[in-house]
Amino acid sequence: MSSNPSAIESLNSTLNKTVDLVLQRIGKKIVLGTPLGLGKPNRLINALYQRACEDPSIQLEIVTALSLDIPQSNHWLQARLMDPIVRRLFGADYPRLQYLIDLKRNRVPDNIKVTEFYFQSGAALGNSTMQRNYISSNYTHVARDMIDRGANLIFQLVSGPVLGHGGQATYSLSCNPDVTLDLKTLLNARPDHRALTIAHVHPDLPFMQGDAVVEADFFDHIIEDDPLQPLFAVPRGPVTLQDHAVGFHASGLIADGGTLQIGIGSLSDALVHSLIMRHEQNERYRAVAAALDVDSPAAPRESAPFMQGLYGASEMFMDGFMHLYKAGILKREVFEDIDRMRRANQGEQVAEQGQGAIMDGGFFLGSKPFYEFLNHLDESEQARFRMHGVGRINQLYGGREALEIEQRRHARFINTCMMMTATGAAVSDGLANYQMVSGVGGQYNFVAMAQAMRDGRSALMLRAVRTNNGEEQSNVVWQYPHITIPRHLRDWVVTEYGVADLRGKSDEECIQAMLMITDANHQSALMEQAKSAGKLATNWQLPAQASTNTADVLAERLGPMVDQGAFPTYPFGSDFSETEQQLIDALQTVQRLAENKLDLLRSAWKGRPERFPEAIQRMGLDGKQPLKARFFARLLAYALAKH
């Protein structure tokens, strides 16, 4: 993808003419709806934003979500590690979203407003403008909310063109049919409402099938120029032993011949890794189960390899589904004819009548290898991976209920949360003071869908404990001022210590089950709160086995498996070299040490840079350096020795 000055100049001319078109057709009151995540045409958005910055008479509102930004270092030492990695992953001139830069610096002009319904995790914490303009909305309601806000403009990256039936040019909404399809339907129902839909063709976006395929007249204007915007690739992160334990417990809830929905993050990576272990290394999988004594939780456990396989129906299509496909797990086919689908569910052979789909998603976001995988699917494989609007993926309603239920048999909707209350409410998107960390997204949709299906189940994964400012805190709490999922939708809850089955249980039974998967250091306080509230019998005592819910016992039980390579830190590869992986961990240690100046000085005194020549050289701290650099070289060496 060329990004020389003349190419950028030519593109900017095209984009400015497009902005002229918008102003001519719509006027100066613009409500722009643009996709979450990958599908934003950054340079086109920047061109419109810049025009509004220059002309205060333009009233611009941008309604979107998950505005992605490349990592930014906040310390010169961190920059020495991050900057080369960022250039390697995103290129030297990745076009950052200017409105996001200005939001972070609190300098968005008064005539411009940015509202989002989902934040990049933690990006908006402490930012008053972003917090005040957050829209709390279920994913399936976003298109409706955009219409209510007056949406009259859509910008989106697309793939194509490809000649369809009859020789007509077709395009694919690719990574983001999620809201766009639903929004376009609502706009079409209002012919008196002036609105424009503008596509910017991206040469590297995969041409995805399903409802994502549209004809050229879906758009009012199509920009064919190269957007000079590398696809935003999410770096593959580490998975801790705690994460692996959570994922392993969750993997025993997935029924062969069923349906899977998962999100992104280390807990989901851990789940996928354990599912592959269950399928490909079943003897090892059963050995881990024995080491963890997984027969003790009340929830049923599945441990056999996947003979029928799984079908993916997930708002987010990401790396995990690619790995499941390559492992031969993502293979259960679904069909659009209900009679054929019912016969398939009864075990009849119907595949010879035509290949079915194995994955239906709403949007995708992932790593570079994931995008390469999608781009290299052959024609027969492409038809098996489909993309749709969230109105279809995230709910059963809309006239397809009977078919969707047949397709999503034995559905397992697996999501993550930050905290759970003892009676089964989940905290997934915000803090006690209503500062939003991320957003509701589709989590509520899928949790509620599980309750609406006879054989569907929801599982919320979380770590039992977290460390905050050096202090260990429980993620299982008695109550919390802000919740995302109400307790009347309680179902399976998974921590590193097991599974609590809360569906249909009384409050006392729920509390007892939650205490069994709570860290032992926090069980007593939680139990006393429950008893004081009259929700737990005063004479009830925790079973002895719950006393082993500690990080040390977990490490002891899984230690031999770790030594045998069962739980790697990067189960699906890494975008960082081995030295960079070590430095990432070490810099986190340095950051914690910085909380206490005395600890910082003592640690630096103990550091021996000569023990880590490659890492010290990678950070540019070798050779003759100022005193400050030599101090940090010693500090970094101390942190490296701790890992």
pLDDT, tens digit, for every residue of 117-127? 999 999 999 99
In the predicted structure, residue 341 carries a pLDDT above the cut 80: yes
Band the pLDDT of 252: cuts 50, 70, 90.
Answer: very high
Predicted confidence at residue 463, as pLDDT, reads 98
Q: Are residues 525 and 606 in the same domain?
A: no
In this model, does residue 183 exceed pLDDT 80?
A: yes
Which CATH number characterizes residue 374's domain? 3.40.1080.20
The residues that bridge with 412 in the sheet, in sequence order, are 260, 457
Percent of all residues in the chain with a pLDDT value above 90, rounded to a whole number: 82
Q: Is the peptide bond before 161 cis (omega within 30 degrees of 0)?
A: yes
Query: Looking at residues 98-106, what average pLDDT do you find?
Result: 96
Using one digit for the tens of pLDDT, what is the confidence trace for 274-296?
Answer: 999 999 999 999 999 999 886 65
- Does residue 353 have a pLDDT over 80? no
517's CB contacts (< 8 A; 6+ apart) are: 297, 464, 476, 493, 494, 495, 497, 498, 499, 500, 549
Residues 124 and 11 in one domain: yes
Residues 20 and 63 in one domain: yes
Tokens of 42: 């950054």
Answer whether residue 626 shows pLDDT above 90: no
pLDDT of 538 strictly over 80: yes
pLDDT at 245: 97
Q: How many domains does the chain have?
A: 3
524: left (phi over 0), alpha (psi -120 to 50) or beta: alpha
Within-domain flag for 32: yes
Res. 3 pLDDT band, cuts 50 70 90: low
Residue 411 confidence (pLDDT) above 90: yes
Q: What's the CA gap between 446 and 205, in Å, rounded?
A: 27
Residues 502 and 374 in one domain: yes
How confident is the model over 14-35, as a mean pLDDT?
Answer: 97
- The pLDDT confidence band at residue 628, using thresholds 50, 70 and 90, is confident
Give 428's pLDDT tier (boundaries 50, 70, 90): very high
132 is a domain residue = yes
Question: What is the Cα–Cα distance from 364 to 440, expressed in whole angstroms?
Answer: 17
pLDDT tier at 437, thresholds 50, 70, 90: very high
**Residue 614 pLDDT:** 93
Final residue belonging to a domain, choices 536, 552, 568? 552
Q: What residue numbers bound the domain in which 324 lies? A: 242-552
The answer as to whether 567 is a domain residue is no
Mean pLDDT, range 316-330, rounded to an integer:
98
Pair 211, 248 in one domain: no
> How much is the pLDDT for 296?
55
For 357-383, what is each residue's pLDDT tens digit?
999 999 999 999 999 999 999 988 999
Task: Note the pLDDT of residue 315.
Answer: 96
Of the pLDDT bands very low, low, confident and very high (cuts 50, 70, 90), residue 72 is confident
Residue 354: pLDDT band with limits 50, 70, 90: low
Answer with the one of 223, 256, 278 that is the final residue of a domain: 223
pLDDT above 70: residue 419: yes
Q: Which residue has the tokens 């023990």?
A: 611
- The mean pLDDT of 625-637, rounded to a whole number, is 87
Both 455 and 588 in a single domain? no
Cα separation, 361 vs 51, in Å, equals 35
Residue appearing with tokens 């004479």: 539
Confidence of residue 300 (pLDDT cuts 50, 70, 90): low
Tell me which DSSP letter residue 254 carries. Answer: P
Q: What's the rounded Cα separation, in Å, for the pair 472 and 242?
A: 14
Provide mean pLDDT across the span 161-189.
Answer: 92
Boundary (domain end) residue, out of 498, 517, 552: 552
Query: What pLDDT shows up at residue 352?
Result: 61
Contact 557, 614 (CB under 8 A): no
Q: Report if residue 30 sits inside a domain.
A: yes
What is residue 602's predicted lDDT score, i.e. its pLDDT? Answer: 86
Two structure tokens written together for 117: 């319904």
Task: Report the CATH number that the domain containing residue 29 is assigned in CATH.
Answer: 3.40.1080.10
- On the question of pLDDT at 54 being above 80, the answer is yes
Average confidence (pLDDT) over 517-524: 97
Average confidence score pLDDT of the chain = 93
Determine how many CB atoms are found less than 10 A away from the CB of residue 510.
24
| Prediction pTM value | 0.94
Domain contains 463: yes
* Rounded mean pLDDT, 166-190: 94
Please report whether residue 429 resides in a domain.
Answer: yes
Q: Where are the alpha helices (DSSP H) in 316-363?
A: 319-326, 338-345
- Alpha-carbon distance of 26 to 151, in angstroms, equals 11
Q: Could you tell me if 604 and 525 lie in one domain?
A: no
**Pair 37, 68: CB distance under 8 Å:** yes
Are 541 and 587 in a shared domain? no
In this structure, are 211 and 340 located in the same domain? no
Degrees, nearest 5: CA angle 465-469-475: 20
Confirm whether 419 is domain-assigned.
Answer: yes
Range in 91-95, 216-220, 568-572 with the lowest mean pLDDT: 91-95
For the cut 80, the answer to whether the pLDDT of residue 22 exceeds it is yes
CB-based burial of residue 627 (10 Å sphere; 0-12 exposed, 13-18 middle, 19+ buried)?
A: exposed
Q: Are residues 324 and 199 in the same domain?
A: no
230 in a structural domain: no
pLDDT of residue 295: 61
Q: Are residues 87 and 199 in the same domain?
A: yes
- The confidence score (pLDDT) of residue 355 equals 84
Q: 598 and 534 in one domain?
A: no
**Structure tokens that stand for 234 in this block:** 């999410």
**pLDDT more than 70, % of the chain:** 98
